[in-house]
Amino acid sequence: MTSIAEGVWVVELPLPHRGVVETTNCYLLADDAGGVHLVDPGWDTPDNHARLEAGLTDAGFALDDVRSVTATHLHPDHLGLGSRLRSERGVPVALHRLEHEALTRPLYPEPDETIARWGIPADFVDEVRANVLPRSQPPGLAADVVLEDGDLLPLPGRAVRVVHTPGHTVGSICLHDESAALLMTGDHVLPIVNPGLGLGGFLPDDDPLGLALDSYARMAAYDDAEVLPGHGVRFHGVATRATQIADRHRRRGAEIAALVDADPGASVWQIASRVNWTGGWEALVGFLRLSALSQTEMHLRHLARRGTLGK
């Protein structure tokens, strides 16, 4: 547990698997009524439950003092342990309205149709299916408090405002602690990792990339705040970092557009396999390959919506 500001702490909670990130930052916010509120309480594992309890103790609280959980988005490395506190202790969980609605929808509702649409070669179908199937059912979670852009969280003595930043998921939010000049960004803006987009809740006609670019532009209004990301170290300069991420997506879009121009009939798989991914296509296995395919299709839809494919 690390103290960040008056009444604000962070507890690092490990993910149960190694990947691009290895821990989630769970933020503890004290209120003026003797309670404490959690933001992004990590993956639901016995070890994380123990780590959270120890962190609360170090901050002068117990699990019985937890008054609410707010998740920046619906992924289990941010919401999971919150659902356990909800079911075991009745702690209310807050999500953006669109994220709450997305809990009833799977990420890939038609797994076989998705695999066929992407043009997965026969030798790789089993690998892709193994990662699609767990995401082809609704998460089965729930929220008690539904948030909208501009809402203030019910934290006595603190002014923490919701900033809707769709892109990573449809209902992703940042939380601006106006009283402490802090901005909790979830997976919207991370200090080093470039977060994936379109990873939950979007409908077929949505444009996750276009929405994300608008969300990155919103960060300019919060450039004076210290950034508390969902993963990684705290930093300043959210506007610059958000612009870097947005520009990277624009470059990726231009790369994919050029690949389509060179081979208009190529499948999503064929295009994705030719993209210059960090570390190379062959290094992407399991969820990382699934993410690359999803990102490629997302870019193709964005380019098609803008009418720039084949030009």
Q: Across the chain, what does the average pLDDT equal?
A: 93
pLDDT given at position 309: 58
Phi-psi region of 255 (alpha: psi -120 to 50; beta: other; left: phi over 0): alpha
How much is the pLDDT for 311?
Answer: 46
In 148-297 the beta strands, taken as DSSP E runs, fall at: 160-164, 173-177, 182-186, 226-229
Is 45 within the bounds of a domain?
yes
The CATH number of residue 51's host domain is: 3.60.15.10
In a domain, 89, yes or no: yes
Residue 159 lies in a domain: yes
pTM over 0.85: yes
Strand order of the sheet with strand 173-177? Answer: 160-164, 173-177, 182-186, 226-229
- The answer to the question of residue 118 being in a domain is no
String of b and e for 206-231 (b: at least 16 CB within 10 Å)?
bbbbbbbbebbebbeebeebbbbbbb
Answer with the residue of higher pLDDT: 67 or 307: 67
pLDDT tens digits, 241-281: 999 999 999 999 999 999 999 999 999 999 999 999 988 99
Residue-range definition of the domain harbouring residue 179: 2-106+138-251
Q: Which residue has the tokens 């089965």?
A: 140
- pLDDT tens column, 29-88: 999 999 999 999 999 999 999 999 999 999 999 999 999 999 999 899 999 999 899 999
Per-residue pLDDT band at 122 (split at 50, 70, 90): very high
Is residue 184, in this structure, part of any structural domain at all? yes
Number of domains in the chain: 1
Q: Which of 304, 256, 293 is nearest to 115 (CA)?
A: 293
**Cα 123–Cα 289–Cα 22 angle in degrees, nearest 5:** 135
Cα separations (Å) of 136 from 103, 121, 261? 12, 20, 32
Q: Is there a domain that residue 262 lies in?
A: no
- Contact between residue 48 and residue 13 where contact means Cβ atoms under 8 Å apart: yes
Domain annotation covers residue 79: yes
Mean pLDDT to the nearest integer, 216-224:
98
Is residue 48, in this structure, part of any structural domain at all? yes
